[in-house]
Each structure stands twice: as structure tokens, then as C-alpha cells.
Structure 1
């Protein structure tokens, strides 16, 4: 069934504008249930990925006396963001189009202490035989022009339901604390700076900040390795 997700669609009207006491057509209810079910699938896929990461982190905390993962964040893309992204790409705004064309409806962000932790965590995750790697973009080795750095993967993980097993796509972003700090502030300023940054001065300063942060990440990793070279383990209590 082709389910229209656009703000002017009947499904949107039935969910947002129709009072509780008004009789809602069955077809609208059916479409709403289908949308809810698909979004539940993405939520379950996030849970699967987070469990894998938590198990790996717990193992390494015992094995190496150090947790490479500082924090795990997750989100399911909001309906309005889904609609806007499909429209930007000139794609049909429907449930089927979302599932087929969008790889980042489900997202997991992993925050690590050091740059080498990023690659270690990524390698451990994709080594698992039930994880399918769809795409990888290394914005650490190849930063975006604005200075953005992060390691991105699109993966598929199996989710077991009562009557089926489905592979669901999840976008995984892995970055250091410093990278996450910069990206969060840049995102917060994204729309504001478009009104005031006509000469590109603010963008240039943000790019300089990103470069400084990257240099700090490299220096912190170098210091950790120097300490470890003396036979002292760097651990997080």
C-alpha cells in the first residue's frame, strides 16, 4: 500500500487534526498503524545495535581495563524530517519511499575517547557475522569542507519478530568527544549563521575551530601512547 506521509495527506490529517471523538476512516487508521509498525522496527534495530556495542564495551573494560566508548546516543528520525529529506531529493513522499531510499531513519552515535578507539569499535562491530555493511564514509581522514569530522557507517542488523526476521538499516556515527562537541555547536548555529554569515567569516572561524579540535585529538592520542609506551595502562575508573 502506498502511504502518503506529506503534511497535506489524509494520514497526516487523521493523526494531527481530527478530534478524538470524530469517526476516523478505517483506511486512515490502517495507514497510521503501518507507519507506527515500521517506525517500531527502526527502534528495535537501534536496540540491537546498542546491545552489541554495550557488550563489546563491557568486554573491553574487563579485558583491557579501559572503555573505548564514552557514550551511546540514538534517535529515530522525526516524520517532518523524513518528509523534508524526501522532498529535497525529489522523491515520492510515502512509507515505501522512506524505507527504500533513506538509510538514516534509525541512527546511533558512538562517542569515543580517542581517535584510534573509533576505528577499533567500527572494526569490532562489522566483524560480527550478522552485521551487513552497506556503506562507509570516513570524514576523519577526509573531513567535509566545513571541518566536520566523524566516521559514518550504514549497516543492516537482523531483528527477530514473532513471525519473521528482518534486516533493518541503521546509520552509525562514531566520533570523539571533541568532534561531537564541535558538531553539536555547528548544528545549533547552522540556521542562524546563514542569516549573518554573508561574507563567510563565521564559517571560516568554525572551520579553524574544527582544525584546532582535530589537532587536539591527535595530540591527546600521542600523549596516551607515550604513557602506554612506559608500561603504564591508561584506564578510566
Structure 2
């Protein structure tokens, strides 16, 4: 777990540096918050069992990509792609997988950009690559996902289908608002 914690620190530092540099060159921060988390050992075991994998270090390192997780909350949709692109252009970051739920939302309405990357960590015995899952969302996407997650815990609802439709409708409205705010920011910046 210490190695995955180190991978989180590497990614978080890289994102903070990019945010600081962007603030200097563009007079604003594209990243509002960065949250990190390590998957709990119980959750790791459950996931290995779900995938019908033997419980060992090799399978954890090889088949689980979300032990180390970073959530990056950006101000605007275009900031998500800008920051993700800047991060992926660093020569020690290796992109393993991308899932773009912004361009192609899940049926539920969920939107986020997910990257699985490999980042080197430097230990006393040498360099080791470690996987990190990075989720990029706007403030509005994160708001929706957090509430949707809470609501999904109440599984035995008689009107579950209606609620799902309403959640999708809210997700569409939030997306529309995200892009309207981005347009307003553009109008303000170009007015200067």
C-alpha cells in the first residue's frame, strides 16, 4: 500500500505543479480541488474475488487499476481535457487506458474522464511503475455523481425507473450549465 500511496503523491504533485503554472500563464486555476484515496484492503479482496482471481500481490498489481485513485475537480469541461493532456505529455507518465464518459456518458447520466496511468515511484531499491486511476470532473459533474451515489444506496425503490430518468435529466441540465458557464468565462476573458 505504501507504494500506491507514493504513486498518489507523485500524481498529486504533478497536478499541483501544472495548476500553479497554469495560474501564472492564464491568470486562473483550472483545478479547484484534488482528492486522493487508497482502496481499502477489504475492497481489494472483494474485487479480486469478484474477478475470480487468486489473492496475491501479482494479481493486485497486474489486474487492479484503481487501488490508487485521484479525483481532479476542474472549473470547466475544457479544463479537464487541458489538464489531462498536459499530464499525459509528461515523459514519465504512461497512459494505459482512457474512458471518456463526458463525450459518451453512461446510461445513468454519469460524466467524467477516467485515465488509468502508470507513474514511476522511486524507492531505495530502484524505480517501480505503479498504476493510478485519475477521474476528472467539473464541479457540477462531481455534485451530480456524489448525490447519485447516495441515492443508489437506496436499492429497493418502487419508483426506481422514474428516479433514474430524473437523474439522467438532471445530468443533462448540469452538462448544459457547465458549457454555458464555460461560454461566459470565454466572453469575460475576451472582453479584457
Given the two structures, how large is their TM-score scaled by the length of structure 1?
Answer: 0.78
1:190 and 2:142 are equivalent in the alignment:
no
Could you tell me which residue of structure 2 aligns to residue 123 of structure 1? 85
1:210 equivalent among 144, 165, 171 = 171
Shift of residue 198, structure 1, vs aligned partner: 5.3
Which has the larger share of strand?
A: 2
1:54 and 2:16 are equivalent in the alignment:
yes
Say which SS state the counterpart of residue 102 (structure 2) adopts: coil
1:225 and 2:189 are equivalent in the alignment:
no
* Equivalent residues, number: 192
1:93 and 2:55 are equivalent in the alignment:
yes
1:143 and 2:105 are equivalent in the alignment:
yes
Say which SS state the counterpart of residue 174 (structure 1) adopts: strand
- Contact 1:197 1:203 (8 Å CA) reproduced: no
Could you tell me which residue of structure 2 aligns to residue 44 of structure 1? 6
Say which SS state the counterpart of residue 92 (structure 1) adopts: coil
Higher relative contact order (CA 8 A, sep 6+): 2
Q: For the residues of structure 2 that align with 1:206 and 1:40, how far apart are their CA atoms?
A: 38
CA root-mean-square deviation: 1.2
Shift of residue 177, structure 1, vs aligned partner: 0.3
Structure 2 CA distance for partners of 1:143 and 1:197, relative to 1, 3 Å:
farther
Shift of residue 89, structure 1, vs aligned partner: 2.0
The gaps in structure 2 that reach 5 residues or longer are none
Q: For the residues of structure 1 that align with 2:24 and 2:88, how far apart are their CA atoms?
A: 21
- Contact 1:103 1:169 (8 Å CA) reproduced: yes
- Contact 1:107 1:172 (8 Å CA) reproduced: yes
- Contact 1:131 1:155 (8 Å CA) reproduced: yes
- Contact 1:46 1:106 (8 Å CA) reproduced: yes
1:103 equivalent among 61, 65, 68 = 65
Q: For the residues of structure 2 that align with 1:80 and 1:130, how far apart are their CA atoms?
A: 31
Alignment of 1:157-176 (within 5 A): 157-176=119-138
Q: For the residues of structure 2 that align with 1:140 and 1:174, how far apart are their CA atoms?
A: 10
Q: For the residues of structure 2 that align with 1:187 and 1:210, how far apart are their CA atoms?
A: 13
Shift of residue 181, structure 1, vs aligned partner: 0.6
Given the two structures, how large is their TM-score scaled by the length of structure 2?
Answer: 0.96
Structure 2 CA distance for partners of 1:97 and 1:214, relative to 1, 3 Å:
same
- Contact 1:138 1:151 (8 Å CA) reproduced: yes
Greater C-alpha Rg: 1
